[in-house]
Chain A
Amino acid sequence: MREIRVHGRGGQGAVTAGDMIVIAAVMGGEFGSSFPLYGDARRGAPVVAFVAIDDQRIRLKTQVYTPDCLIVLDSRQKDWPETYKGVKSEGILVVNHTNTIEQQPHPNIIKAGAVDATQIAMEEIGIPAFNTCMLGAFAATTEWIELDSILGALEKTFSGEILKKNIKSAERGYKEVKGSSW
């Protein structure tokens, strides 16, 4: 079982990103589950989404305490120590950030992918809806899920013009992510 924790803020699409990873995993023939942790649903408050992918139905109903991968939508949370709590050795970080991650952010993180998702989303979608771009970067960095499955998940979530824009944004996230490893 691979576990992912998505860190963001209400309104940034952390929960939707988690859901779309599950849809993508299911399209790729695997099982998955995701659930968010927030109390009162309000814009701006920190939000965490827990995702699990496995080749069997996920029976565990707990939060993710030992993630294999962290997806950080809010670049400021990249510098918070609590973001990295419990991360497994050989952990992977995917972050919305303008520049390549030079310094190893945590001893257990061995691979990082940075993408300027806010910029790409503004160019492609016109609003800071950068979670779909981050999914492209996630697919490229982890290689756990095919880009096609991510695009398939987008098709199940959006339609029309918005779908086209989000597909472009995800494809650019996939191509433009800047990797680093330690």
Chain B
Amino acid sequence: MNKPAVETKPNIEVCDGNKAVAHAVRLSRPDVVAVYPITPQSAVGEWLSRWNDEGTLNAEVVRVEGENSSMGVCCSASLTGGRVFTGTSSWGLLFMMDGLHYAAGYRIPVVMTNANRETPGIFTIGNSSQDMWSVRDAGWIQVNVEDNQEILDAVIMAYRIAEDTDILLPMMVCYDGFYLSYRKDPLEIPAQDDVDAFLAPLKQSKRNIVTPDDPMVFGIPSFFPKDQGEGCTEFRYKHSAALERVKDKIDTVDKDFEAIFGRSYAGQIEAYRTDDADIVLVATGSVCGTAKVVVDKMRDDGVKVGLIKVRLLRPFPKEKIAKVLEGKKGIGVIDRSVCFGYHCGHLYMELKSALALEGLPTTLPTLNFIGGLANLDITVEQVETTINLTLAASKGETVEEVTWLSLEE
């Protein structure tokens, strides 16, 4: 019998998305961890607590009474100079909404994961991107990933970005709940030495630290040279400008990561077979895996189609996307959430706005497809439908602008 391959690849482990998060956090050596359990990401906290108990993680794991507290614990611990981690999903993410604004407004480099799940209101237990998009104006850096290896790698990269002196912003690594959080895949677990080397530049990072000997005041004090409103305006501007700097930072950190670990995710966006494409799908999250398979299949049938996988959601990589889409004949956007007030998907709304801001012709046929809500599958057939309809629109046929997959016309 053949010798098991695992003996030659000792760093391969089959684990789900939640354990991938936990591995990444363990390897990043956080000082404080506070995770409150919620489906479908409870295992993140369970693994970290277990490893802390066993001694493979050396952090202070704080048992909190809710997500609002976990963000409070993380913000406070980070202000004292510690490296922190929390993870949540849906209800939990919304329960820490004030904390999200605190973390971003005070420029506290909290690293958090969110297992994307439907939001309250229509009671469901299933995946969608509704929660992730709902907090997009909190001022965080947000990335959304395609598979479990990318979860692990993105969390490690998140520390390099969030704690960088040029950035100092909280960062949220989003991954599809259920579809990734419960999915088992063989993953390459990086070596501790490599992660230490990758995160080593952060030792030079400088940030304000709160200590008992040198108390700080939060808010804009009376001795500030300008009044409160002007002070607020200045800090809002700086915050927004820092978010813009994330775009280049995520690209360079991705290159640094590749140099050590040999894996790259192309930074802000991944353009998949777009160079000679006539039409391009735009999507984010786990559906990109399925979309790549369908793109390959349609390419074999002679359809010139490509895919843009949007990794970075905040700041929105509008320049990169517009550059890829310049000169294309049709665009199809797949959304797993509903942007209320625009009656379309979030990514579609973002993309339309990006195209207009970047000066692409508004006549470019752009379609939106909403599917995969509350754990519905976005199937191979559905992705084929999106390509066929986009192709029809690119040839001048009249197609409904927004198609709700799984709803009958």
Interface residues of A (CB under 8 A from B): 18-19, 22-23, 26-29, 31-37, 39-41, 57-63, 65, 146, 148-149, 152, 156
Query: Which of A22, A34, A60, A65 is most buried by chain B, counting CB atoms within 10 A of its CB?
Result: A60
Nearest CB in chain B: distance from A41 CB, A: 7
Chain A hits for B183, CB < 8 A: 33-35, 61
Given contacts A31-B186, A32-B186, A62-B378, contact A26 B5 (CB under 8 A): yes
Nearest CB in chain B: distance from A100 CB, A: 28
Chain A hits for B180, CB < 8 A: 61
B12-A62 in contact (CB<8A): no
A23-B14 in contact (CB<8A): yes
Given contacts A41-B39, A60-B293, contact A35 B182 (CB under 8 A): yes
A22-B2 in contact (CB<8A): no
A27-B179 in contact (CB<8A): no
B192-200, B244-252, B283-291 - the one binding chain A? B283-291
Number of A-B contacts (CB under 8 A): 83
Chain B hits for A22, CB < 8 A: 14, 184-186
Chain B hits for A40, CB < 8 A: 39, 125
Chain A hits for B290, CB < 8 A: 59-62
B184-A27 in contact (CB<8A): no
Chain A hits for B287, CB < 8 A: 61
Q: From B12, which residue of chain A is reached at the shortest CB distance?
A: A26
A61-B286 in contact (CB<8A): yes
Contact pattern, B 368-386, Cβ under 8 Å of A = 1, otherwise 0: 0000000101111000000
Q: Is B352 an interface residue (CB 8 A)?
A: no
List which B284-317 residues lie within 8 A (CB) of chain A: 286-287, 289-290, 292-293
Given contacts A34-B183, A40-B125, contact A59 B1 (CB under 8 A): no
Nearest CB in chain A: distance from B68 CB, A: 24
Q: Is B6 an interface residue (CB 8 A)?
A: yes
Nearest CB in chain B: distance from A152 CB, A: 6
A58-B185 in contact (CB<8A): yes
Closest 5 CB pairs of A and B: A29-B5, A35-B183, A39-B125, A27-B4, A59-B289
Chain A hits for B178, CB < 8 A: 35
Give complex CA distance A34, B292 in Å: 19
Q: Is B126 an interface residue (CB 8 A)?
A: yes
